[in-house]
Amino acid sequence: MLLSNAWDHNERKAALERFHLDEKEFQARHELVVSSFERGEMTIDEYLDHIVLHCKRPFSREEFRKFMFSLSTPKPDVLDFARKLTETGHYLMGTINNESRELNLYRMERFELRKIFRLFVSSCFVGLRKPECGIYRLALEITQISPRACCFIDDRALNLECASELGMHTIQMQNLDQLQGELEKLGVDGPPGSEG
């Protein structure tokens, strides 16, 4: 939620339009391999071989890859809020996300996410995906923090359900003002000057 999604339905739709691909075929192929792709069991090139480059195309692998990476854009206000929250030193900030290895590493580097998050429980690193309970349980086991002392934030209700069942506080994020308000209710002191 600090960035646009890496390779979700809107990003794939943009690629379909840009490269004039058949949506039905593309989506069917994507669904067959997306789990392996996001679990880090398949490289981005292997993924592209299966869903795009299985036949001759009027564009190169590098053109398509470059377009995929270009779709990641920051949400400056949310990114700044998260950065300042980290700088207070009061909270252990981590992320639980579904993402392929190459896109995940690119985003971590490009948007300096390591300066915000101390922990990356990414599907491509741990072989688990949201909303599977195992990925949330793993985050708790790694941090050794009580679920009641944790807050998991996501924009999708399904991804919040298991975290809630494990005892975490959850917030379904809609916008920054709403997020700040929900965090304040949990006693999270925002960074100076972050009042809505």
Do 54 and 127 reside in the same domain of the chain? no
CATH number at residue 22: 1.10.150.240
Task: Give the relative orientation of helices 44-51 and 101-110 as an angle to the nearest 10 degrees.
Answer: 130
| 91 secondary structure, DSSP code | S
**3 state SS of 72:** coil
d(CA 162, CA 3): 23
Q: How far apart are CA 53 and CA 93, in angstroms?
A: 38
pLDDT of the chain, 196 residues: tens digit per residue = 899 999 999 999 999 999 999 999 999 999 999 999 999 999 999 999 999 999 999 999 999 999 999 999 999 999 999 999 999 999 999 999 999 999 999 999 999 999 999 999 999 999 999 999 999 999 999 999 999 999 999 999 999 999 999 999 999 999 999 999 999 999 998 766 555 4
> For residue 59, what are the β-bridge partners?
none
The SS3 call for residue 11 is helix
Q: Where are the beta strands (DSSP E) in the chain?
A: 94-97, 119-122, 151-154, 169-172
Among 70, 100, 121, the domain boundary falls at 70
What domain range is 142 assigned to?
Answer: 76-185
Number of Cβ within 10 Å of residue 163's Cβ equals 26
- CB atoms under 10 Å from CB of 127, counted, come to 13
Q: What's this model's pTM, rounded to 2 decimal places?
A: 0.92
pLDDT for residue 132: 97
Task: Supply angle C-alpha 92, 152, 127, rounded to 5.
Answer: 90
pLDDT value at residue 194: 52
Q: Domain check: are 16 and 89 in the same one?
A: no
Q: Name which of 35, 103, 116 is nearest 73 in CA terms.
A: 103
Q: What pLDDT, on a 0 to 100 scale, did the predictor assign at position 128?
A: 98
Asked if 92 and 172 sit in the same domain, the reply is yes
The DSSP-derived string for 157-193 is HHHHHHHHHTT-EEEE-S-HHHHHHHHHHTTPPPPTT
Position 1 in a domain: no
The answer to whether residue 179 sits within a structural domain is yes
- Domain ends where: 25, 43, 70? 70
Both tokens of residue 133? 């309970």
Instruction: Give pLDDT, residue 124.
Output: 98
Q: Map residue 5 onto helix, strand or coil.
A: coil
* pLDDT at residue 196 in the model: 42
> Do both 64 and 81 map to the same domain?
no
